[in-house]
Each structure stands twice: as structure tokens, then as C-alpha cells.
Copies of this chain bind each other. A is one copy, B any other.
Amino acid sequence: MRKTMLTVLLASTPLAWSAEGMWTLDNPPLARMKAELGAAPDAAWFEHVMRGSARIAGGCSASFVSPEGLVLTNHHCAVNCVEQLSTPEQDRVKQGFLARERSQEVACPAMEVNRLEAISDVTKDVKAATKGLQGQAFKDAYNAATAKITQACTGDAGATRRCDVVDLYHGGQYKLYRYHRFQDVRLVFAPEQPVAFFGGDPDNFNFPRYDFDMSVVRVYEDGKPAAVKDWLPINPNGPQAGEAVFVTGHPGSTQRGYTMAQLQELRAHDLLGWLLRLSEFRGRLIGYSERSPEAARQANATLFGVENGFKALNGELAALNDETLMATKARDEAALRRFVAGRKDLPPETAKAWDAIAGALTSYDAFRNANLMIANGAAFDSALFRQARRLVRGTVERELPNEKRLPEYAEAAMPQMQALLFSKAPVYPDFEKNKLGFTLTKMREYLGTDHPLVKQVLGGDSPEQVAARLVDGSKLADLAVRRQLWDGGAAAVRASDDPMVKLALAIDDAARDLRKRYEREVEAVVQKNTELIAAARFAQSGTGIYPDATFTLRLSYGRVQGWKEGDNDVPPFTRTAGLFARATGAEPYALPPSWLAAKARLDPNRPFNFVTTNDIIGGNSGSPMLNAKGEVVGLVFDGNIHSLGGAFGYDPRNNRAVAVDTAIIVEALDKVYDAQALLKELTGKR
């Protein structure tokens, strides 16, 4: 559940329902928590769980669970690392991985863990820098202001400090989030994917569920396990039905504050396009996997991501195709517009903000496909192309003053960019050709054979011929070659005869022009006008509301609770007996040998997975589920099918988060994996 997620009926009242909300940790809904839970944690609790929570830069959540740097997250949040540490001979995704001692812990090629340290308000600075500006000038000033703010925050400590300006409430507030950055992340434990992702795609976003979706990594500093002050102890008993539980995690993105025009754009273009491309890509990946077991191994993590993304986005599109939801959204928007019309103290341009956004999205029709394919790089799904673009742009951008750079090459972003550029993750040429051939075909489909950029990229060849030439001819899989080009700078890059570098260079002007046009004609207009709408909403509803998700730390409170599906009650817990009953032996219901062997030793009544009313979304995967004492009682790994409409609103009747129970984590580490050292460290029995 890495990326965003049907609900039939949504909150149509301005007052949020119980359990709704992804709250920032500097603005927790204390009064509501007291009223609804009977009590609310104190400031020290919030401070502690903030530092005990973690973000995985690629798009997941996690928690620190030992003073010596152990980090608990989902298997599916670490699967890219596990795959990168595998070989055709040793498939750690299928077979699992356990470091029985610290010397066996292996560095993940491109994993970064962040810990939030402080939040400060920079709204005034950002708004002052962009005041009165429009279009490109607005965007340039915005980028310069955030580069300046983050650089001042990071200073010379970029290797261990990360600072981001976060846009909350769609421009209502800008906050500076300061993180401690860990780039030396080593794999400690990953179970076999067949039990981590038991039930596979068919059971994904469903419940009852039986997934042992956990993994453990450790953060290192200076070659040693990092000393961690605020860590969250694991409660080996899990939670009780009805118990109040808290999720601290990083929900990726919600669109609850979107205007109707933005929602219609999502429905007609963005979501639909993604779903159609993901569907075909899924078919191609399955076809590729059928070539050989090794091909299947290469494509496995990508296929998981594609199927997971497809199911999540499909649920979102279903929500947008629900006429009741859209009518509710239209009514809410009309009510806010009427409110604005009656308030003379709001800026007069506020009344036109909705039409301005709609107009910007309509004007996007003229270059949407070109922007997607060329500027966003959807035409070039290849790890080698991404490296080429980093080299082409990074060597130019690093020569510019920090405030003038593309944000992803600003000083504050350089450590993560370089970690990716110099990643040791393996590259599979046949798989690269397959992905690149597919996306080049999509480029021709979306832009047409006669588009100048299509002619430039393909010449007289087919997409497959071009992909083969680029991948076979490129030396960028070699880390030394990338290092040499990076060190040689823009001149070395321009002089390179590597075909992938040449392609990235050849289209760079066009790609940058498209991006600038998008920023000027769409992004700047949307951002300026959503700021106005955000201010109007504050005036209408006060600041006791939560902002849309932004892949930053949020608190959700809720209870362990099932739901009613049609006429049936779905109980909140599944148990180990159910796992074995569901295991047919055929994929994706085939348990690994370790679990089959341990069956007699396991308590059939042990809680396995459970559901709660917490309001979460893609990005929350790996979040700790905490009890009132701040102990970890569960590990969030999914939402149920009804949670998929959560992008647009929360329905307390059936939107449920799904977690692995710590009771099964502790039992399985003991009785399935005999991971005594790890277990000892995790449960604090030292």
C-alpha cells in the first residue's frame, strides 16, 4: 500500500467524524481525542513518538524499535533492497534473509531513513517571497525561497540532516521539517515473500488477511549501529478488540481538498491514464516473467509495485466515478463559494480562484501528453536513462547558485540524489529493454508518429530497436563510468558517446521547456489559487482541521474494530489457524517450508492480522500502530478495499487500516525463524 487509495458515502458535514484525520504532530486534536477517547497524550508523548517514528525516503513509514538502531517496517517496503541483494543463485526475496549476527547485516544499495526532529513555521517567509508574482516569476521565487530556507536549515550537515519545506492545506501553511538522515541502512531480517505477501494480488486490500508483512533494517552511523534515544518498545501481546490505537506514519497523498475541476482532471486524465498504462505494463511484466525463473525474479518487485498501484488507483477512480460522492463534493464547493461571496474581508480574487484552476487545467490539454512523456520521463522507464538524466542535469545544476537550481538538485537534495546516482543496485539489460521498449511505444501512442520529439527519439526505427540500441550501447550500469562522468562535469557529459547520455542530452532542452511551461501555466496558477481557497476554508472552518496528506509525519487515532460487510460482521482479528486453512499450496497461497515445518509449534489462536478505524493512506505502510503507552502493538501494512476512496474522504463505517499483530511477530521470530538475538533486541529482554 505504498501509493494512494471506494467509499460510497463521505463526510458531507464540515465537522469531521470520529477517527477521521491525518493530523500534524504540532497540531494534534487534543480536545477531540479527549472527548472521543476519554484522554489525550501529553506533549512529551507526542515528542517521543515523533522521534520514534521514521520515514523511508522511497515512500514508506517505519519506527525505531531498539536503542541500537533497529528499524521495523513492512517486507514490501524493503523488498527493493532484498531484490537488489539477490542473485540468480540466491533469491532472497523468495528465500528470506536473516542476519544472525551484526557482521551479517548487509547494506541496502539505495535506502534512506529519515527521523523528524523539528517543525517550524515558514509561511510568512514563503508568502513574502512570492507576493504579487504570477506564473514563472511566482514559481522561480517559490523555488528560490525554499532552496534558501532548506539550505540555511541544512548548513554543512547535509550528510546527516535533511530539511524540506512542506506545503500544508494546499498553500494554507508552509512548514519547515527538519530530519535526521540515515543513509547507511542494512538489512537485518526479511521473511520469505510468499508469507510476507501471502494471498498476493488477489488478497491485497482485502480482509480477512494473513500477511507476515514485516522486515527489520538497522541504521548505522560511522560504521556502527546508530545510537537511538527515542525508540518505541514492542509489546509482544498485541492489542485488544476495541482498544484505542495510534498510528504515526507518513501518508503519501490525499486529495480531500481538491476542487471539482481538479477531481474531474484526475478522473478524466491522470488516474485513468495511469491505470491504463499500469494494466498494459502488468500484462507485459507477466509475459516477461514467463520467459524463465530468472526473468520472473528480475520483474518481481516491479510487478508487485504495478499490481499494488493498479489496485489502489482503481479504487480511487471508482470513488470518483461515484456520482453521490461527486455530488457531495460539488455541494461542498458551492457552499464554500457562497461563503466567499458573502465575505468582503477576503481578497477579491478569491471568488475567481475555482475558475482560474479549471482554466489552467483546460489549457494543460495542449501539452499534457508531451509533458508526461518527455518532461516527466514516462517515455523512458529505464534505470539507465534515469542515471543519464541525473548526470546531464546534475553536472549543470550544481554549477548554479543554490536558489536557481531545479529543486531536486538543490544542496538539500544532493545527498539523496547522489545516493541514487551511485547506487550499487544491479541492472538487468533484458528487463531494461523490455520496460524501455514499452514506454517508448507509449510515447509514440500518446504523441503520434509525426510528433517532432517522437521522430527525434525513434528516427526510422521501432521502439524495440531503439531500446535495444540504447541499453546494449550504454555503459552507465558501471558505477565507475558514472563516477567518471560526474567528476568530469558538464564538459565530460557533453563529450560522452554513451547513447543513453546522448539521448538524455538531446531531449533536455525540450524536457525543460515543457516543465517550465507546466510550472508557469498550470502549477503556479493552481498553487496561487489554492492558497486563496485555503485561506477561505480557514475563515469558514477555523484551523481545527487537518491538511491533506503530504508524505510527512501524521498522527491518526482510532480503535481496533471490524466492520459490517453487507449483512455480515467482519471480526477485527485473524488468527494463525486461518493462515494454514487458506494455504492451498498454489501461488499465491503457497506457504514457505519454514512455516509449514513450524505449524505444530505455533499457537493456532494467535492473532495474526487485525483491522482498526485509523485514517491512513498509501505511504503509511510500515507505520507503527501504538497503544496509549506508546508501545508498538501492530505494524500497518494495508487498508481494506473501502479505504481506497480515502483519498477523497474518510468513511468511519467501513474504512479500515490493516496491521500485522506484534503477537505473531514475536512468536514467528521465535518459533519459525529461531531469530533469538533479534527477538531479544526487539523485545528488550537483554
Contacts and interface: CB of A to CB of B under 8 A. Distances in A.
Interface of A: 199, 201-203, 206, 264, 267-269, 272, 275-277, 279-288, 290-291, 314, 317-318, 321-323, 438, 444-445, 448-449, 460-462, 465, 584-587, 589
Contacts of A448: 202, 206
A28 to B, nearest CB: 38
A203 B449 contact: yes
B276 A584 contact: no
Contacts of A462: 586-587
Contacts of A279: 276-277, 279-280, 283
A497 to B, nearest CB: 23
Contact of A321 (B272, B281, B286, B460): B272
Contact of A317 (B272, B287, B291): B272
Contacts of A286: 283-284, 287
Contacts of A203: 449
22 contacts: A201-B445, A202-B445, A202-B448, A203-B449, A264-B323, A267-B321, A268-B322, A272-B321, A276-B276, A276-B314, A279-B279, A281-B283, A283-B283, A283-B285, A283-B286, A283-B438, A291-B291, A449-B589, A460-B584, A460-B586, A461-B584, A462-B587
Given A284-B286, A286-B284, A460 B268 contact: no
Given A276-B314, A283-B285, A283-B286, 10 more contacts: A202-B444, A202-B445, A202-B448, A264-B321, A268-B318, A279-B279, A283-B283, A449-B589, A460-B586, A461-B584
A283 B276 contact: no
A172 B291 CA distance: 54
Contacts of A586: 460-462, 465
A159 to B, nearest CB: 42
A615 to B, nearest CB: 25
Closest 5 CB pairs of A and B: A287-B287, A283-B283, A268-B321, A460-B584, A279-B279
A283 B287 contact: yes
Contacts of A587: 462
A642 to B, nearest CB: 14
Q: Which of A283, A288, A323, A584 has the most CB of B within 10 A?
A: A283
A269 B317 CA distance: 11
Contacts of A202: 444-445, 448-449
